[in-house]
Amino acid sequence: MLQPGAPGGPPPQQWNPGMGGPPPDFRQGQGPPMGGDPNMPPPGMGPPPPMPGMPAFQGYQGVGGFGMMAPMPPPPPPPPPQGDPPHMQFDDVANLDEQQCREAMFQFVSENCCYSKGPAQEMQIKEIIPHNALHYTLETFCEERQTGFVSVPYRGGMIDGPENGIPPPPFAIPCNPDNVFHDHVKLVEVPHTATVRPCNVCDARGYLRCHRCHGWGQTRCHHCGGDGHVTRHDPEHGPVSDMCFVCHGDGNVRCNTCGGDGRITCKTCDGFSNLKCFIQMKVVYTNHKGDHIIEKTDLPDELIREVQGSLVFEQVMLPVWPISCYPLDEINQCSINLCNQHRTGFPKEKYINQRQQLRAVPVTEVHYTWDDGNYRYWVYGKERKVYCPDYPKQCCCTIL
């Protein structure tokens, strides 16, 4: 007859309160203890299974123990590109006219409730100077594979153990990213590494002694202190002993934590008595990103990262070719530098893909006068955001 949980057999039975009786020496102490805090949390997960006795697997000599992940050595990074670079075409960006600059200022003032609308309505635009900020980014999408032993409650089902063959090398196990160029983590069971072991926390019983009643199923009554009676003062007869209305004279009450059974379900095995132990592979996908901004006006460079621009150039391949023929040599040089940094910058990870982009973000510097003063502001990004740190009337609130 097949045992519960064995392949082809019935599923293992989960322990529930009331199933069988505990061993004779299960109770702790001479009697039910004081109940303590009824909201006391139960004990957490027990210690992991001991590593002695766990099988060793070829190619996983450096695997981490239970609860620990050890990185696995990746394949070498891709070599530098060879031959002639592909054709690179760069697009242009349109500029703003005076009406668009005024509309951007009106919108900026409307978003700041304390700014007076007067300067925006009355300003005299004297000069519009168009610029294009350039934002170069290089992304290198990599994966790191870590392995370590884990254990989960064994609820039945097939076990892919060593009898099915030698585990494949870490980087030969199929695992594809959900989203390229986005950080995320995936967990995979390494094939042919699973075994079933008795739970080391509850000794394969499926239950533990209740931490509140110490296995008695009862606690001493908190109202009478376990005496079964309480004393009250009668004005005519003096002290009078009455039966405790909480425990009805017994001195003990049922334990609310275990429901009177004296046992609670083992959290480690979830009451199933056995654990499935296997090597788990943690695949960490990381998008490494480097960038460089060229912006010639007094607009803070970091504002360029936050807005949309026009895509002048994009290349997605492994590895990318550094930009070498853009009219502005600073872009060519920063592309070469970042590509060289990324080529050997992540020795513990496998390279999956690379992407380089060059964005042109429109920046328009506007010079204007208002109330005999000379001022300026900047309109930047496709959203036409405004940077105007010295707007003439930044507070229109009146204190009475």
Angle at 67 between CA 65 and CA 69, to 5 degrees: 70
Structure confidence at residue 257 (pLDDT): 87
pLDDT digits (tens, 9 = 90+) for 256-284: 888 888 899 999 999 999 999 999 999 99
pLDDT of residue 142: 97
Size of the chain in residues: 400
Q: Please state the separation of Cα 107 from the chain's center in Å.
A: 37
Secondary structure (H, E, C), the chain: CCCCCCCCCCCCCCCCCCCCCCCCCCCCCCCCCECCCCCCCCCCCCCCCCCCCCCCCCCCCCCECCCCCEECCCCCCCCCCCCCCCCCCCCCCCCCCHHHHHHHHHHHHHCCCCCCCHHHHHCEEEEEEEEEEEEEEEEEEEEEEEEEEEEEECCCCCCCCHHHCCCCCHHHCCCCCCCCCCCEEEEEECCCCCEEEECCCCCCCCEEECCCCCCCCEEECCCCCCCCEEEEEECCCEEEEEECCCCCCCCEEECCCCCCCCEEECCCCCCCCEEEEEEEEEEEEEEEEEEEEECCCCCCCHHHHCCCCEEEEEEECCCCCCCCCCCCHHHHHHHHHHHHHHHCCCCCCEEEEEEEEEEEEEEEEEEEEECCEEEEEEEECCCCEEECCCCCCCCCCCCC
In this predicted model, what pLDDT tens digit does every residue of 299-321 receive, in sequence order? 999 999 999 998 989 999 999 99
Look at residue 2 in the predicted model and tell me its pLDDT.
Answer: 42
Burial bucket for residue 114 (CB in 10 Å: 0-12, 13-18, 19+):
exposed
pLDDT in tens, the chain (400 residues): 345 555 556 778 888 887 877 777 788 888 778 766 556 666 666 788 887 878 889 888 888 888 888 888 898 888 887 777 766 665 555 566 678 777 877 787 777 777 777 777 878 888 888 888 999 999 999 999 999 999 999 999 899 999 999 999 999 999 999 999 999 999 999 999 999 999 999 999 999 999 888 888 889 998 888 888 888 888 877 788 889 988 998 999 998 888 888 899 999 999 999 999 999 999 999 999 999 999 989 999 999 999 999 898 999 999 999 998 888 899 999 999 999 999 999 999 999 999 999 999 999 999 999 888 999 999 999 999 999 988 887 765 544 4
